[in-house]
Amino acid sequence: MDEERNLYVTDILESEVRRYALGSKNGTLVAGGHRRGIGKNQFNNPASLFVDRQQTVYVSDKENHRVMKWEKGATEGVVVAGNNGDGNTLKQLSYAGGLFVDSIGTVYVTDIRNHRVMRWPKGAQQGTVIVGGNG
């Protein structure tokens, strides 16, 4: 939920994220919604999400091995972690999972198949391992 009490939901089948106002039955599309794919307006299994105070939505795009950032009102996202294929280098993720973003924009994401948690500072081209990575 955000500070305005909107609920955000990932829909794996539709490859999208929707925002629901309290009591609403119909959500508003805020990210994705263009079927599965690798484009900047697509997801392939949107797994976890984080919403900041500006209603910017961060989504772990599990099977595209990346984290996407969608500013409020955006029609496409920006890659903020991963997006260099499935792998175990510091520039890669292998199935992006749980997600947290701190107040200065640092992304923390579970790298499921590499058994680690990665930290990606804002604007970084690669992350650092902060926990795990031992298989």
pTM (predicted TM-score): 0.95
CA 31 to chain centre: 10
Instruction: In whole angstroms, give the CA distance from residue 21 to residue 40.
Output: 26
pLDDT of residue 132: 95
Domain boundaries, the chain: 7-132
pLDDT of residue 60: 98
Helix (H, G, I), strand (E, B) or coil at 113: helix
For the beta carbon of residue 25, count every other beta carbon within 10 angstroms.
Answer: 6
Instruction: In whole angstroms, give the CA distance from residue 78 to residue 29.
Output: 17
Q: pLDDT tens across 16-42, in order?
A: 999 999 999 999 999 999 999 999 999
**Is 133 or 13 the better-scoring residue by pLDDT?**
13
Residue 115 has pLDDT above 90, yes or no: yes
Which band of pLDDT confidence, cut at 50, 70 and 90, is reported for residue 135?
Answer: low
Which band of pLDDT confidence, cut at 50, 70 and 90, is reported for residue 90?
Answer: very high
Q: Under CATH, what is the fold of the domain 7-132? A: Neuraminidase (2.120.10)
